[in-house]
Chain A
């Protein structure tokens, strides 16, 4: 062994890599520009805004590192693992069109990093650590590709669009709902009155609001009893299957199970939960719903705290994917024309993620990856928030047939009363579907169709007179990057 040999040991790349100290993430193996993602990799697309002076590749590598195995300094214990495999790989960085300083970073994660069938684990891994990272000014999880191998570890929606329709025996038109208003304060008996009026007037569903759980003004058991009385009465006067989303959200899982069991005992076809109960609770409830043949409605309470701003947070399309895997049957996904945020292209992207068996890449609608759902059941999107009968032609065109259209204020605020409000919405919807099937151009002739239907339906006429001109036109804060201008909702 001469000097030459000694020299070669000095410059061994493995020893250099694991020498104590701080290395750039890109040098630790988290930046691999040539990497070809495998079929079983989980892919994530982050929108990164590095701090000034931070190189985008390094930032991407840092995100990859901090969302997988790295820490801010080299650790020798890495050598005890097949670390090359467990490291996430940032394999591509593109500038975001029209937004200097922002980049799209594509990162691949080995499937072994994740527990099968666990949204809690999937999210803890990907967004658990990295969003507060100082070298990034802002970070958003824009889209994910879940490989079929991982999709298959989830049970998915307990009911799904097809089975829901078969249970309700309702085919060929969107479903109609309304949230009971005012949001808070009604007693159980008064609450049930609203439900009866709305369902007997023609809606298919009524809904607890997200913050109706069990408050001093109305305990949950009372609400459940009065609502089921209303549901059954409405069923008997119409001959149709009706439902009310009984909110079983509570402080603990034990309380939630107790409430859900009671709902089932009373014969409700549907129960409801809020997003704020957390991913673990949602999966538990999905399992319960499947065991008990109940439709599971999810209110996306709290999501806009992190989904709304384009630069930072988690995109709602990712939430939609997680929720489909976790297993909900209904999820609020936007109305386009109502009072809440939702650009038409983005919203159509969310609806496609929820309803299709296969999503091709569709940059215009914000879908960056091809996604196969492997036969996982389809989630029924819910459109709720500031919509009224006068917009029926727009709603049908943007959202299609497999959606629940919820007109809370639009039913309960009707000048002729709640039943009339429900009837107005139902007649408007049926007339619009009839016209669309006949081949009419409802986008342009919609108002004519509504006016014609209103001639034989006084409640509809009153609704159009009251709200016909109401629109919510503001520029969207979260539009897709690959469309020239924000489309006015």
Chain B
């Protein structure tokens, strides 16, 4: 299974050159770039681990790419994403997010159906990987 979160997950994995170009675009818009990683890919898992604080005031993507490589080297078997945050009035929110690393084997999600009255069902998505403790998932 291929997790399709992030803005470019339907395209082939981005090369470092492509990632650099996207980061340059974010810097050109004045957005702050940050890196996050996780081994729990559930769609409602909003808070991935931060790999360092968001990087403000940078002019060039090189520093960020170094951190991306650093994160990949440290957590090769986790999902890693690059985020860009816009602090201007009316937004104050993330504007771009895309995955830059994924584990080689993605087991995917199970779907639990809890049966209620009148054919109602309550659904739970659970990632198969999350059945194992952190560090042993992928």
Contact = CB atoms under 8 A, between A and B. Distances in A.
A400 interface: no
Given A236-B111, A239-B1, A439-B25, A430 B43 contact: no
Contacts of A265: 120
B124 to A, nearest CB: 9
Contact of B120 (A171, A225, A426, A430): A225
B65 to A, nearest CB: 15
B8 A434 contact: yes
A235 to B, nearest CB: 6
Contact of B11 (A225, A229, A236, A427): A427
Contact of B125 (A228, A235, A266, A357): A235
A171 B4 contact: no
Interface stretch (A9-17, A161-169, A296-304, A387-395): A161-169
B8 A430 contact: yes
B75 to A, nearest CB: 18
B5 A169 contact: yes
Contacts of A225: 119-121
A267 B43 contact: no
A48 B90 CA distance: 37
B52 interface: no
A240 B10 contact: no
Contacts of B93: 162, 165-166, 171
Contact of B109 (A165, A172, A236, A437): A236
A233 interface: yes
Interface residues of B, number: 43
B95 interface: yes
B32 to A, nearest CB: 13
Contacts of B89: 357
Nearest to B22: A437
A235 B7 contact: no
Contacts of B41: 239
Contacts of A173: 7
Contact of A171 (B42, B46, B92, B95): B95
A241 B4 CA distance: 10
Contacts of A434: 8, 11, 14, 18, 22
A239 B109 contact: yes
B13 to A, nearest CB: 12
Contacts, number: 106
Given A228-B123, A239-B1, A239-B5, A453 B11 contact: yes
Which of A165, A166, A232, A265 has the most CB atoms of chain B within a 10 A radius of its CB? A232
Interface in A359-381: 375, 378
Interface string A260-282: 00000111000000000000000
A467 to B, nearest CB: 19
Contact of B96 (A172, A235, A240): A172
Contacts of A456: 12
Interface in A89-110: none
Interface string A188-216: 00000000000000100000000000000
Query: Taking each of A202, A434, A437, which has the highest tally of chain B beta carbons within 10 Å of its own beta carbon?
Result: A437
A202 B4 contact: yes
A239 B38 CA distance: 14
A438 B21 contact: yes
Contact of B43 (A239, A375, A378, A439): A239
Contacts of A233: 111
Nearest to A424: B10
**Interface-centre pick from A173, A236, A239, A265 (highest chain B CB count, 10 A):** A239
Contacts of B125: 232, 235-236
A239 B108 contact: yes
B123 A165 contact: no
A439 B29 CA distance: 12
A236 B8 contact: no
Contact of B10 (A239, A427, A439): A427
A397 interface: no
Contacts of B97: 169-172
Nearest to A235: B125
Q: Which 8 A-B pairs have the closest CB atoms?
A: A172-B96, A172-B7, A437-B25, A232-B123, A236-B111, A236-B109, A239-B3, A438-B21
30 contacts: A165-B94, A169-B46, A171-B7, A171-B97, A172-B84, A172-B95, A172-B97, A202-B10, A228-B121, A232-B123, A233-B111, A236-B109, A238-B3, A239-B3, A239-B41, A239-B42, A239-B43, A239-B108, A267-B122, A357-B90, A375-B90, A423-B10, A427-B11, A430-B9, A431-B11, A434-B18, A434-B22, A437-B22, A438-B21, A438-B25
Given A236-B109, A375-B90, 8 more contacts: A162-B91, A172-B95, A232-B111, A239-B42, A427-B10, A433-B8, A437-B96, A439-B21
